[in-house]
Amino acid sequence: MKGIILLFALASCLACSRPPTTFNNPYGVTALLNDSTWFGRAYAAEAAALNNNPCATGRFTVFLDSNVGYPGDQLRLSPQQMALQAGEFVARQRLTFYNIPARKGSYRINELNQCGGIVASQGNFALLGNGSALMEPYFLQPTQTGRVRIMKIDSAARTVTGKFKVTLTAPGGRVARFRQGWFIARLPKK
């Protein structure tokens, strides 16, 4: 009996030590948002293509999108809109990390934001309506910190793997706390 319990405990530890799977999508994101499961799709773009500052050269920006509505958001779709979007991935939330250096390491999000590219009205996290209309932006406050850690950059597969933890606040005071975040994003072709 003790052997079975020990084997179960070992199997549980091994299962928890791996990054979570992302629903048949090799390029995805999972995290805890305010202690609830948060998941979606991940993609990256060259920061210099989005930002004209010289500090953006050799860096990339990661976009993490979820098609799950944020609790308490005001987006209400008509039955006709729901039918049009049936089976499609329509982003309802977007978390963005700007100007990440193209090398392994741990980076403070407030330092990455200083390079530019972040639109003041957009923030690092946004609730979206119909996939693109900005409903509510969330910002990294001066007293808040957040980190993104690049674990692996695979130039052959053109992917970047990373972890993140950040707390962001909306102008109305709502807080979005991301923790245990993990992503794998496809890098653009050169």
**Domain assignment present for 3:** no
| HEC letters along 128-147 | EECCCEEEEEEECCCCCCEE
**Domain assignment present for 2:** no
| pTM, to two decimals | 0.74
- Return d(Cα 136, Cα 113) in angstroms, integer: 19
**Domain assignment present for 165:** yes
**Domain assignment present for 176:** yes
**Domain assignment present for 13:** no
Domain count, the chain: 1
**Domain assignment present for 59:** yes
Domain containing 29 equals 21-186
**Domain assignment present for 15:** no
- Return d(Cα 181, Cα 34) in angstroms, integer: 12
Q: 173: which DSSP letter?
A: S
Over residues 113-141, the pLDDT tens digits come to: 777 656 544 568 877 665 555 677 888 88
Query: Which pLDDT score is estimated for 187?
Result: 85
**Domain assignment present for 76:** yes
113 in helix, strand or coil?
A: helix
Over residues 26-63, the pLDDT tens digits come to: 568 999 999 988 888 898 888 877 777 788 788 888 98
